[in-house]
Amino acid sequence: MSFRIIASQCTQCGACEFECPSGAIKFKGEAYVIDPDKCTECKGAFELQQCASVCPVPETCVPAEL
Amino acid sequence: MSARMTALESLTRTTSLDQLQTPAKSGGCASSSCGSPSQPNDVNSAAWEKIKDHPCYSEEAHHYFARMHVAVAPACNIQCHYCNRKFDCANESRPGVVSEKLTPDQALRKVIAVANEVPQLSVLGIAGPGDACYDWRKTKATCERVAKEIPDIKLCISTNGLALAEHVDELAEMNVDHVTITINMIDPEIGAKIYPWIFHDHRRYTGIEAARILHKRQMLGLEMLTERGILTKINSVMIPGVNDEHLIEVNKWVKERGAFLHNVMPLISDPAHGTHYGLTGQRGPRAIELKALRNRLEGGAKLMRHCRQCRADAVGLLGEDRGQEFTLDQVPGEITYDASKRETYRDVVARERGDYITAKNDAIGMIKDAGSGGSLLVAVATKGGGRINEHFGHAKEFQVYEASAMGIKFVEHRKVEQYCLGGWGEETTLERVLAVLEGIDILLCAKIGDCPKHQLTEAGLRATDAFGYDYIETAISTLYAAEFGAEPLPTRA
Ligand code: SF4
Ligand code: SF4
Ligand code: SF4
């Protein structure tokens, strides 16, 4: 399981990139994207997903199946 | 005096070193200023050394020096109700707004391009659009790279203070001499109305708990900076009904902790900007409310009154923004720093401003000595150098001075739409200018046409270009003397 970023909402601030403990977030083209193979949902590292906790736009870093 | 004016003006226009130096030499030393006091009366020498070239920290310096911001730090660890992070715009002028975000390398190229072209440049600031201390790696890389290429540039950063304490030592090592902290509250109950959340220690906090952490971190950061002798400016956003009265308390707290300046700014809350405050109808303060609050703060931490609430990528003197001339696509891929223009400009300014400060002190002394109870509110059109040197029709703002038994004080600036674009003024624009100039007794400019002058007179506002190219304070003291029957200063130079 992984998180994903809704590109149309992303402000490209990059905060999620440097908070991600798994190095799963990179800037590609227009927005930041999450590599589903690397994303651990922050399990074992933090209580809550860092990308979703720091992102300034609500509902932008969300579980991938949504 | 106009010969010397040409010297300073031409410096910012011409391109070859020869051209720069010829008029500079002819300026000569026409007054008692050689070796005379070259600092205003109200700051001590150690602080003056740090602020004398910083347009934001010194009202006096802002006549001569320019700052530029580079937008390298877009990530933020706080949400504020007056900020909308989705907003990017080339035409808006307000904090947080940028048209392009830069990497540290792109920023370096841009700083060099500006330093080569804008001789007034003295300060590089990093003011977001996020938080310079939170987005620290980019802030640090930018500061280090620029300081290596242009060692004399002053480094300045802006922060909300949440992640400040952990970087204070590095800031000191990097010779960052100026730090602005935005502090809107010292009471977490009020803070909770301004900040919906913060991100700290790997988690999101909300409500009073968030505001309490933020408050503690801000005070700690401020105290640490003061300990290390780094000058601090506190920015507070005045939000009517939320923290307006409270800012009096904030002013006391920051003064006790060594803040050098306190800059109280009006909330900007246009619904079109999409901020929480904009969308919920929270209004910003009216100009007179802001002025009244600033007056009540007089006597606490020293106030900054000349802030322009610049964009996070602004370039140039405070009243202007030349950012659009230096967008990345206009900056060469390879560029080397050429110090010649900045150096020549500084030499001339060093001479010129000594003369200006003497003239200014004389003028202020005269008004104080006059002992009259009268006061005058004077609007001035200027483009720098401490002189009345802008045409009425070209002014984008007027600087407002108050002459009273206390001397002559800069009180505020008022923005206007340019009355005359390419020589044609529109009637409605003049009406708007008049509205902006409400309460002003006299307007001073380098030149004004008969028609607008007549219309201003009809509206009860005296406008004159009789003092064109004179020093602002000298002209005001002459007017004051005429108005209240004091002895004018003998003509200088
Ligand atoms: S959920 Fe955690 S691991 Fe996954 S992308 Fe977000 S921050 Fe990285
Ligand atoms: S934190 Fe949110 S807005 Fe910022 S880059 Fe990541 S997804 Fe985009
Ligand atoms: S926003 Fe105010 S303090 Fe910042 S650069 Fe502009 S004038 Fe100076």
pLDDT band for position B98 (cuts 50, 70, 90): low
Ligand nearest to the CA of A62: 1
Question: Which of A26, A40, A60 has most ligand 1 atoms within 8 Å of CB, for mutation?
Answer: A40
Nearest to A11 among B85, B137, B199 (CB): B85
Query: Number of C-alpha atoms within 13 angstroms, CB side, residue B119?
Result: 22
Query: How remote is the CA of residue B214 from the centroid of ligand 1, in Å?
Result: 25
The two structure tokens encoding residue B47: 């602080």
The two structure tokens encoding residue B197: 């959340």
The residues with which B443 forms a beta bridge, in sequence order, are: B379, B463
For residue A61, give the ligand 1 atom closest to its CA: 6
Query: Number of C-alpha atoms within 13 angstroms, CB side, residue B173?
Result: 6
pLDDT band for position B21 (cuts 50, 70, 90): very low
The two structure tokens encoding residue B221: 């950061």
* Cα gap B241→B91, rounded to integer Å: 30
Helix (H) or strand (E) holding B86: none
Is B76 an interface residue toward A (CB < 8 Å)?
A: yes
Which of the residue ranges B2-6, B142-146, B367-371 would you say has the lowest mean pLDDT?
B2-6
Is B204 an interface residue toward A (CB < 8 Å)?
A: yes
Q: Are the C-beta atoms of B432 and B443 separated by less than 8 Å? A: no
Contacts of B173 (CB under 8 A, 6+ apart): none
Query: Number of C-alpha atoms within 13 angstroms, CB side, residue B201?
Result: 5
Using the predicted structure, report yes or no on whether residue B180 has a pLDDT greater than 50: yes
Query: How remote is the CA of residue A29 from the centroid of ligand 1, in Å?
Result: 20
Q: Are strands A31-34 and A25-28 parallel, antiparallel or unpaired?
A: antiparallel
User: Which amino acid is residue A18, in one-letter code?
Assistant: F
Please report how the helices B104-117 and B340-370 are oriented relative to each other, as an axis angle in degrees rounded to 10: 70
In DSSP notation, B194-230 reads: H-SEEEETTEEEEHHHHHHHHHHHHHHHHHHHHHTT-
Task: Output B25 or B298, whichever has higher pLDDT.
Answer: B298
Q: What share of chain B in percent tops pLDDT 70?
A: 84
Q: Kindly list the residues of chain A whose beta carbon comes within 8 Å of any beta carbon in chain B.
A: 9, 11-15, 18-19, 46-48, 50, 53-54, 56-57
From the list A25, A3, A17, the residue with the least C-alpha distance to B135 is A17
Q: Environment class of residue B417 by beta-carbon count within 10 Å: exposed (0-12), middle (13-18) or buried (19+)?
A: middle
Question: Which of A6, A13, A26 has most ligand 2 atoms within 8 Å of CB, for mutation?
Answer: A13
Residues B422-450: tens digit of each pLDDT: 444 555 667 778 888 888 999 999 999 88
Residue with CA closest to ligand 2 atom 7: A10
- The whole-number average pLDDT for the span B451-456 is 86
* Cα gap B341→B17, rounded to integer Å: 7
Which of the residue ranges B19-33, B115-129, B451-465 would you say has the lowest mean pLDDT?
B19-33
Closest approach of A37 to chain B, Cα-based (Å): 22
Query: How remote is the CA of residue A51 from the centroid of ligand 2, in Å?
Result: 7
pLDDT at res. B419:
53
Helix (H) or strand (E) holding B174: none
From the list B224, B247, B245, B226, the residue with the least C-alpha distance to B235 is B247
Handedness of CA B72, B173, B304, B474 (dihedral sign): negative
- In degrees and rounded to multiples of 5, residue B399 shows phi and psi of -95, 135
- In degrees and rounded to multiples of 5, residue A35 shows phi and psi of -80, 110
Closest approach of B99 to chain A, Cα-based (Å): 13
Cβ of B202 within 8 Å of Cβ of A50? The answer is yes
- Per residue in B380-397, is it b (16+ CB within 10 Å) or e — as a string? bbbbbbbbbbbbbbebbb
Closest approach of A16 to chain B, Cα-based (Å): 9
Q: Environment class of residue B473 by beta-carbon count within 10 Å: exposed (0-12), middle (13-18) or buried (19+)?
A: buried
Q: Quote helix, strand, coil % in chain B, to nearest 5.
A: 40, 20, 40
Whether ipTM > 0.90 holds is: yes
In chain B, what residues touch A57 (CB-CB under 8 Å)? Answer: 85-86
Q: Are the C-beta atoms of B72 and B102 separated by less than 8 Å? A: yes
From the list B331, B344, B341, the residue with the least C-alpha distance to B113 is B331
Residues B309-335: tens digit of each pLDDT: 776 677 777 777 788 888 888 888 889
The residues with which B378 forms a beta bridge, in sequence order, are: B401, B442
Q: Is the CB–ligand 1 distance for residue A22 below 6 Å?
A: yes
